Amino acid sequence: MATLTVNGKQHNIDAAPSTPLLYVLRNDLKLNGAKYGCGLGQCGSCTVLVDKEPVYACVTPISVLEGRTITTLEGLGTPENPGPVQRAFIAEQAAQCGYCIPGMIVRTQALIEHKPKATEQEIRDYMAPNLCRCGTQVRILRAIRRALKETRTAEVVR
Amino acid sequence: MNAPHSRRAFLAGTGALVIAFSSRKAFAQEGGPPNQGMGPAGVKKLPGDLSKFPKTDSWIKLEANGRVTVFAGKAELGTGVKTAFTQCASEEIDLPASSITMITADTALTNNEGYTAGSHSMQDCGTAIRYAAADLRATLIELAATRLSANAAELKVANGVITAPDGHKVTYGELVDGLDQARDVRPETKIKPNNAFTVIGKPFDRVDIPGKLTGTEMYVQDMRPEGMLHARVVRPPGYGAKLSNIDTAKAEKLPGVIKVVRDGSFLAVVAQREDQAILAMHVLEDSAHWDDQTKLPKQSDIHNVMMAFPHDDTTILDKGILGQPGAKSLKASYSRQYQSHASIGPSCALALMEGDKLTVWSHAQGMFPLQNGLSKLLAMPPENIRCIHTEGSGCYGHNGADDAAADAALIARAVPGKPIRVQLMREQENGWEPFGPAMSTNVSATVDAAGKIVDWQYDVWSTTHNNRPGGAGNLLAGQHLATPFTPDPPKPIPQPEGGGDRNAVPLYVFPNARVISRFIPTMPLRVSALRGLGAYMNVFSIESFMDEMADAANTDPVEFRLKHLEDPRARAIVEKAAKEFGWQPNAKLPRGHGQGFAFARYKNLGAYCAVAMDLSVDRQTGIIKIGKVVASVDSGEAVNHDGIRNQIEGGIVQSASWTLLEEVTFSGTEITSRDWSSYPILRFTDIPDSVDVHVIDRPDERFLGTGEAAQGPTGAAIANAVRRATGVRIRNLPLNPANVKAAIGV
Amino acid sequence: MRRFLLGLITFGVIGFAAFFVWAWHSEIAPVRAADSTTYDPAVVAKGAALASVGDCVTCHTQPGGKPFAGGYPVSTPFGTIYGSNITPDQDTGIGNWSQAAFRRAMHQGVTRKGEHLYPAFPYDHFTLANDGDIDAIYSFLMTRDPVQQANKAPDIPFPLNIRLAAAGWKLLFLRQGQLVPDPQQSAEWNRGAYLAEALGHCGACHSPRNFLGAEKKGEAYNGGVSDDWHAPALNEKSTAAAPWTVEAVYKYLHNGFDQYHGHPSGPMQAVAENLAKVPEADVRAIAVYIASLSGTDDAAKQQRADAALMTARAKTPTVESLAATTGSATTGATDGATIFAGACANCHRSGGQSPRARPVDLSLSNSVNAPDPGNLLHIVLSGIHPQSRERGFIMPGFATTLTDEQIVALAAYVRSNFSDKPQWTGIDTRLTQARKHSGP
């Protein structure tokens, strides 16, 4: 039995301690955001935040997460009230099939927190672990630039 | 009709009146008729797939609460067609999108529109929805005129409310009684004039994006019906491997394992938890003994091997007399390796066996063909099988989706009463999907002193590009059963759409030309449809060679193309891309930089697309870095401009990835490109600096399929720009760093 | 006494003056770079291969920058030195260097203007290169695309930032001259020795250095340090589980993977990527020489390597064995076995006939058997990533996934489970250093 803190709520999980977080999120907690893409940490579809840092949920055993804070796509906003990064992606219509986008949004969230003034090259380097097969990257980049800009503007207003 | 989950049962819940379809034809072959035209003896045919399914309520159905349900036989594959269908219906029926429920490809509910493939969705299905909605609206106005004792022409319609000049109103819902929704759409139906549009061609956000971006259950991978069990399959190591021996006891004893399913070389395991199923799958892999007789050709020699196989030749263009004299003649050969769909989410399916009825949720491209294939695989009557399209990740053709559905169906039959979810692993998806075929082309041409091509010969060698199910042998599991099914014999897709020879006939006007399609029935690797089929390779070849000929004629490549184009829309799209890009003949560029241009009309029937770009080639590494890309596209009447731009942008980036990097690798016995280590695709660091797409909207023209239009022009534009950057023409794909480095030297 | 002092001072002054005279180098007149088309393509190709042997592009290219345009930070115990622009740019590169100036730089570590170069530029090795090869490299460099990019001044504190200090270093450690072929050895071995010693400068990383940063000549190939990575011993002190045969060295260097040792990682990754572009015969010659450092009985080595491979395969866990050890346990957050099962075993496991990502058996991994946990920690933190757009194993980094305690536990578990060597000490402090090195 492991206790995980996901999107601000504590959950007791009855699974083997070596179980990758991805399957616990998707099946035990019924969260759809993190997706299975490769199970090898090569594509980023399963990206979630652990203590605000992006990690691959598919190669993260739940045993290492006791006492740490996990944030998934669902923790960033809801369909009724999408978060800033989600709003930027919607505004840019940055999806085709959309399967990789949750991982993109989560990684963008981390980028905003770590490098709010990221240059174009820094954005691309930071996003390089995440793959998109539909070729939506051009829009995703637009959405990221928008999210960065709007976050910076919001900071100034605050 | 006694389908287990009938349209009646489905709609009964909503309290709507239902009339089952009176007839349903066999599923369509790839390549339907043009969406408008004249039938035999000058009788006007209904447009789009209305010609096959004329009944109004098989497309759109008004309910007493004033809402409509739209039934699309085509599915959302991530291209945004669901949104475009919604726009078509909303425009013509005069209801907001929020009053429209969209049902897509479901054997119990929608028309059998075959596969969602070949960029046919808008022209076949979008057109049908539009006319059906327009006819329904017209009927409602006629009824309202009677009800309100007004002149139909004076009635105003807005948001499902019809208002007479005297202010009396009636809602759509109030007109449901006495409305004959089952009647055929009338051939004289008129759609709105484009100056009356409020939805079509206007900014309209994708209906599925907010849900997908916030973690709503959107994909078949996300489904979790009550009692669902997780299954995994164990695939053989190679195409020819047979399961000779396995002790399943170890796997069966693992925690959570419910059943090991084996039939011949088909092997699967069902468990309570997903992680338990994966563990058991690995244990089964470790316990299995395979007799592997697979023999694959040498990859580096694949094109020679294939061209040496027997082939059926068809002359698909024969014009004038070949062997014309001219100023200069050139010939060249081009090739591409096998390429993978490599969907970002490996294929997944759910299946539930209840009594003698089976329900399958799948992201495959054709629900009716899948139903047909499963019926043979399971020896069940098709009407006992319901296939419901549920989105998966982008497929770009025939990937592992059908196979996963067959896996789920076989397992569900072995574990009845429980929804079974099968998720393929990455290495299973990449190793077993049907690839886009390796291809070779030869082309030779002569240009005269005036710089016009006077003689053109083109040969294309290819296996089939369509091994979609129909037969159970086209479902992978069908080949692995103890009593296996044989795949259907491969057949070429005939012109004008074509398969391997799609776009092999150039759109350019040459006085003397011959094009031969050499169809190879032998398939060393499992192949099927990949976005664009042969069009990618043929356009790559033709458009590369057009540049070579332009050089031979000492003419700017854009001007050279225009010199050979008569179709005014083709000319316009070439001129548009050149203008927006700022194309300059002999532009002075820094060392190692080059500009490239290419154009095609997809299938010579679909959208027109031209691509201009600049790029640089790193001499040290051979790495190509794409800078600015500008594309123009003419999709006929543009329902959703941003949707078109999204498709073209994505097509450019995906085609750049194919062109720059992609090749399936294989050893003598097995496919070795199994994950993103062994099958790299473009990452963010390699994406073009910018991609701008310019849509030429032609509101008076019919819809032209767009989804595959950018693939060929992008590949050729890259090769053309590389030629100008380095002085070297590279004709064998991919243009990966090693191949570029080998071509340009130190 | 006064006389003695006077004598000492005089001697000192004369000595200092003599040093000055010795250390002073005149400027070699600038030239206008010749048209790149005037160079013999065969010589350029030869120079390209030799430049690849020398791994020149790595230290003369900043991350994401134009090749050979300089700017790569080379960290030394004395400060950071930036690789210079060696493109044929007339102003900022070596476009105005004559062939003689280039030869002098390679042999004596002096710029065209006569300034002393720091020994981060390994002229103590390049000095052994023959003129023909240096000229070929010159031809290669002079035919590159010129890039205007100013050189970056080194971040080195006083008094080492006085260029003359480098002259003092040379006086002590630079021995010019040619490598004398060993008549006892084959031509291939001698070719390999030349390539490895003169241009390959293998010893620059694989030999320990003294407090002044010079290679300890008596301890050549005993193992050294590069960029916070341990450069393993290549001689009989090698800790590799499987001996280095000629074939193994060849595959490791040329193919970037050898099933007995794994992948070149850290700074060695770029070395192998460059050697992939070198003619096979030359890489094989290097392999013959390097393998001979740890013994010349290749057949015996191969036997031991095969035995090690068998042992390693037997040690590599199956998912079943992993499940048995971790499945039911109520293990804590820092249980190495559980972390391994959940994070690593998906790839680092045995079994299954199907092709999949199969990295080296960890028992054979150089990093797991190294005397210092640094390399393993670097790999766990940053993962392994192939060069842009190339096929090659991808291992994700776990820097953000695992806490320090967890990484230490994992490293200790991997060491004790997969290596016969004694457990490392001080994994935690080494991890702190590695984290600092690899940045946030």
Query: What is the interface pTM, i.e. ipTM, of the complex?
Result: 0.97
Verify whether the Cβ–Cβ distance A63 to C338 is below 8 Å.
yes
Residue B485 lies in a domain: no
In this structure, the answer to whether residues B609 and B663 fall within a common structural domain is yes
Verify whether the Cβ–Cβ distance A60 to C338 is below 8 Å.
no
- State the CATH architecture for A84-157: Orthogonal Bundle (1.10)
Residue numbers in C near B658 (CB within 8 A): none
- State the CATH architecture for C316-438: Orthogonal Bundle (1.10)
Can you spell out the DSSP letters for C70-128?
B--EEEETTEEEE----S--TTTSSTT--HHHHHHHHHH-B-TTSPBPPTTS-HHHHTT
Mean predicted lDDT score pLDDT of chain C:
91
CA gap C10, B410 in Å, rounded? 99
CB B57 within 8 A of CB B523: no
Question: By the CB < 8 Å criterion, does C40 face chain B?
Answer: no
Omega prior to B297 cis, within 30 of 0? no
User: Given B187, B214, B241, which residue is the final one in a domain?
Assistant: B214
The more confident residue out of B241 and A152 is B241
Which of A42, A87, A137 should we substitute to test contact with B (largest number of B Cβ atoms within 10 Å)? A137
pLDDT per position as a tens digit, B29-53: 233 333 344 444 445 689 999 999 9
**Range B226-236 burial, b when 16+ CB lie within 10 A, else e:** eebbbbbbbbb
Residue B366 CB contacts under 8 Å (≥ 6 apart), including other chains: B27, B105, B114, B115, B116, B117, B468, B469
CA gap B514, B566 in Å, rounded? 19
Can you spell out the DSSP letters for A124-148?
HHHHTT---SS-THHHHHHHHHHHH
pLDDT per position as a tens digit, B130-145: 999 999 999 999 999 9
pLDDT per position as a tens digit, B225-259: 999 999 999 999 999 999 999 999 999 999 999 99
pLDDT at C19: 75
H-helix segments, A92-136: 101-114, 120-127
Verify whether the Cβ–Cβ distance B745 to C45 is below 8 Å.
yes
Residue numbers in A near B685 (CB within 8 A): 124-125, 128
Strand B513-519 with B453-462, pairing: parallel
User: What's the total number of domains in chain B?
Assistant: 3
pLDDT at A157: 67
pLDDT at B9: 42
- List, in sequence order, every residue forming a beta bridge with B291; answer none if it has no partner: B242
pLDDT per position as a tens digit, C123-182: 999 999 999 999 999 999 999 999 999 999 999 888 877 777 888 888 888 888 888 999
pLDDT at C330: 52
Residue numbers in C near B255 (CB within 8 A): 327
Stretches in chain B below the pLDDT threshold 70: 1-44
> What average pLDDT does this structure show over C97-121?
95
User: Given B214, B236, B254, which residue is the final one in a domain?
Assistant: B214
SS (H, E, C) B215-261: CCCCCHHHCCCCCCEEEEEECCCCCCEEEEEECCHHHHCCCCEEEEE
Residue numbers in C near A114 (CB within 8 A): 440
> What average pLDDT does this structure show over C255-271?
94
Query: How far, CA to CA in Å, does B627 sit from each of B593, B595, B620, B693, C114?
Result: 10, 10, 18, 14, 41
pLDDT at A71: 98
Question: By the CB < 8 Å criterion, does C332 face chain B?
Answer: no
In this structure, the answer to whether residues B407 and B526 fall within a common structural domain is no
pLDDT per position as a tens digit, B306-365: 999 999 999 999 999 999 899 999 999 999 999 999 999 999 999 999 999 999 999 999
List the domain range (segments joined by +) for residue B57.
7-214
Residue B169 lies in a domain: yes
Residue B308 lies in a domain: no
Residue numbers in A near B216 (CB within 8 A): 32, 79
The pLDDT of residue C319 is above 90: no
In this structure, the answer to whether residues B193 and B256 fall within a common structural domain is no
Confidence of residue C324 (pLDDT cuts 50, 70, 90): confident
CATH number of residue B82's parent domain:
3.30.365.10
SS (H, E, C) B498-566: CCCCCCCCCCCCCCCEEEEEEECCCCCCCECCECCCCHHHHHHHHHHHHHHHHHHCCCCHHHHHHHCCC
Residue B194 lies in a domain: yes
- State the CATH architecture for A2-75: Roll (3.10)
Verify whether the Cβ–Cβ distance C333 to A41 is below 8 Å.
no
CA gap B544, B535 in Å, rounded? 13
Verify whether the Cβ–Cβ distance A135 to B79 is below 8 Å.
no
In this structure, the answer to whether residues B511 and B604 fall within a common structural domain is yes
Give percent of chain C with pLDDT exceeding 90.
Answer: 74
Inter-chain contacts counted by CB atoms under 8 A, chains A and C: 83
Residues in B 337-356 with any Cβ partner in A closer than 8 A:
342-346
Mean predicted lDDT score pLDDT of chain A:
96
CB A96 within 8 A of CB B79: yes
φ and ψ at residue B499, rounded to 5 degrees:
-115, -95
Question: By the CB < 8 Å criterion, does A19 face chain C?
Answer: yes
Q: What is the DSSP letter of C3?
A: H
Q: What six digits make up the tokens of C17?
A: 């003056």
Tell me whether the CATH fold assigned to A2-75 matches the one assigned to A84-157: no
User: Given B191, B214, B237, which residue is the final one in a domain?
Assistant: B214
Confidence of residue C23 (pLDDT cuts 50, 70, 90): confident
Residue numbers in A near C440 (CB within 8 A): 114
Which of C72, C255, C389, C393 should we substitute to test contact with B (largest number of B Cβ atoms within 10 Å)? C389
Question: By the CB < 8 Å criterion, does B692 face chain A?
Answer: no
Residue B709 lies in a domain: yes
CA gap C86, B110 in Å, rounded? 68
pLDDT per position as a tens digit, C326-385: 655 555 788 999 999 999 998 999 877 667 778 899 999 999 999 999 999 999 999 999
**Cα radius of gyration (chain B):** 27
Strand C224-226 with C79-82, pairing: unpaired
Mean predicted lDDT score pLDDT of chain B:
93
Inter-chain contacts counted by CB atoms under 8 A, chains A and B: 180
> How many C-beta neighbours within 10 Å does residue B225 have?
12
End-to-end CA distance of chain C: 61
Residues in A 41-70 with any Cβ partner in C closer than 8 A:
41-42, 50-51, 53-56, 59-68
Torsion of CA B572, B574, B575, B579, to 10 degrees: 140
Q: What six digits make up the tokens of C280?
A: 């096979």
Q: What six digits make up the tokens of C176?
A: 């010019």
Question: By the CB < 8 Å criterion, does B683 face chain A?
Answer: yes
Biggest alpha carbon–alpha carbon distance for chain A: 47
In this structure, the answer to whether residues B11 and B64 fall within a common structural domain is yes
Q: What six digits make up the tokens of B476?
A: 């992978």
pLDDT at C2: 66
CA gap B506, B502 in Å, rounded? 10
In this structure, the answer to whether residues B82 and B158 fall within a common structural domain is yes
Distance from CA of C253 to the nearest CA of A (A): 25
Residue given tokens 């073009």 in the structure block:
B688
Closest residue to B677, CB basis, from C350, C357, C387: C357
Q: What six digits make up the tokens of B314?
A: 């068809």
Question: By the CB < 8 Å criterion, does A37 face chain C?
Answer: no
Verify whether the Cβ–Cβ distance C355 to B237 is below 8 Å.
yes
CA gap B662, B339 in Å, rounded? 6
